Chains A and B, each alone.
Chain A
Amino acid sequence: MKTRNFIGFFVFLLLTGMTISTFGQEVDKKEGSEEKFNASTFILEHIADSHEWHILTKKNGESVALYLPVILYSKEKGLDVFSSKKLAHGNEYKGYRLEEEGELKGKIVTVNEAGIVDEEKLPLDFSITKTVFGMMSAAIIGLLLFLSLARSYRKTGISYPQGIQSFLEPVILFIRDDIAIPNLGEKNYARFMPYLLTAFFFIIINNLMGLIPSPPPFGANVTGNIAVTLVLALCTFFITQFSGNKAYWRDIFAAPGVPVWLLPIMIPVEIIGMFSKPFALMIRLFANITAGHIIVLSLVCLIFIFDSLAIAPVSIFFVIFMDCLELLVAFLQAYIFTLLSALFISLAIPEEHHQ
């Protein structure tokens, strides 16, 4: 009971903290340019990737932010590494500029001496962005968690689950007994367990960290970034193709029982199927997590759209409700991604006697 109260209080603090910081921004904007509050720009700025991790803007206009390293590569200039603080407020540095408006908003561009953007020669951007930083932190948290779990197993030997084990072991067993074994079979599941476990925990840690609004490394929209979900889906894709057995490839290129004249239609359909499965994985995770962030941010924006503090309690209430829902979605999406990965892999290793 006590812990629950504490967690509730913590969530409340974080949420109010987030509202206050955004409120501060609003004030800043009003004092500065008197421009109308644009909710969609505000929301998209928050869920999009960025080179600096904005925490809050003070009343005097100074912004408190975590400036992440920028890593650029271009053929002419070679490798450049510097802090994103050098590019803050539209400053130019080493011939680079962070665009704040227009088509290339949020991207780093090269500018020549005259200050004109060279749109043809965009540098390759390998910066540690907000997403990358959040993901790294999630990976480190995951490593700490599971390496200590492994150590605890080595220490206790064969015993009843204790300490951290009793917390994480049910999840591992759930993935093994309810995802891997039913889909992949008793004989094959062990091969794919490391990938399924890694994918599940990678996604869920990032999802949960994304739900916590602040401070860094929490609150980055990692699993709502399409590049991240693309890589995850590609991993499932490659594992599926590389573990595909004879029967799988025969089903694609010469499905038994299909007349020969139908093959020119069937083969492209099957090949599209190969790619559409991981594509669905990519879009599902990206869309679900991004949608969750957009809803929460929209509810917060209501306060600024109505420009009234009276809306805040209603808004906060709905945000808490949505956060509970997002908590469920965080688990659900990790589960679905893992389940579908296991399913797609199992489709690539059909047992011979089914044919």
Chain B
Amino acid sequence: MILLANSLTSPAIGTIFWTVLIFLLFLFILSRFAWKPILSAVKARDEMIKGSLQSAEKAKQEMLKLQKDNEAVLRKAREEREVILKEAREVRDKLISEAKDKATEEAGKLIEKARAGIESEKRKALSEIHDQVANLSVDIASKLLGEHLKKTGEQEKLIDNYLKEIDFNKN
């Protein structure tokens, strides 16, 4: 038994020979035809995954940036709209006030014109009345005085004097 145990722990030359042969052949064939393609395929895949992840991250960043840009654009547009609206409101207010002013002015002018017209008409009427009253007075006086008063320059002078005494403007 001990001897067998010895044979167990003493390497046999033939087994060593075959192990070297088999193992080296195994190593050679596998490294040449198996490990090389397998490891390179695995590595290529690893790199692809890494690259894909990176590009996904990049795309995400870009999207975020785009979103931010969009928001900025939107905000700007909103601000611009506000400005435009405000301007429009101002313009409207201005227009309205201008129109109002103009209308008031125009109305004032019209009133003034009307007043001037009335004044001149009044004056015209007064002068007509003046004339007619003169004529009427003459007529009345001539009728009242009859034949006493002759058509002389003195008579007419007298009439004028009377008329001047009457101030129409007072009434």
Contact = CB atoms under 8 A, between A and B. Distances in A.
Contacts of B11: 225-227, 230
A150 B5 contact: no
B12 A198 contact: no
Contacts, number: 136
A136 interface: yes
Given A44-B8, A136-B22, A225-B15, A197 B30 contact: yes
Interface string A15-44: 000000000000000000000000011001
Given A146-B38, A193-B39, A194-B27, A228 B1 contact: no
A143 B18 contact: no
B108 interface: no
A105 B35 contact: no
Contacts of B45: 158-159
Contacts of B15: 49, 129, 131-132, 225, 227-228
Interface residues of B, number: 38
B19 A231 contact: yes
Given A143-B26, A158-B44, A193-B39, A126 B34 contact: no
A230 B14 CA distance: 13
A146 B37 CA distance: 10
The prevalent SS among residues of B at the interface is helix
B107 interface: no
A274 to B, nearest CB: 20
Given A44-B5, A290-B8, A150 B22 contact: no
Interface in A143-180: 143, 146-147, 149-150, 153-154, 157-159, 169, 172-173, 176
B18 to A, nearest CB: 4
Contact of B1 (A44, A47, A147, A198): A44
Given A40-B1, A105-B3, A194-B31, A230 B42 contact: no
What is the size category of the interface that chain A forms with chain B? 35 or more
A247 interface: no
Contact of A106 (B7, B22, B37, B48): B7
Given A125-B13, A132-B15, A172-B42, A231 B23 contact: yes
A136 B39 CA distance: 25
Which 10 residue pairs across A and B have the least CB separation, nearest first?
A: A194-B31, A227-B11, A227-B15, A146-B34, A153-B41, A231-B19, A132-B18, A44-B4, A150-B34, A126-B14
11 contacts: A107-B7, A124-B14, A126-B18, A128-B18, A143-B30, A150-B34, A150-B37, A225-B15, A228-B15, A231-B20, A231-B23
Interface of B: 1, 3-5, 7-20, 22-23, 25-27, 29-31, 33-39, 41-42, 44-45, 48
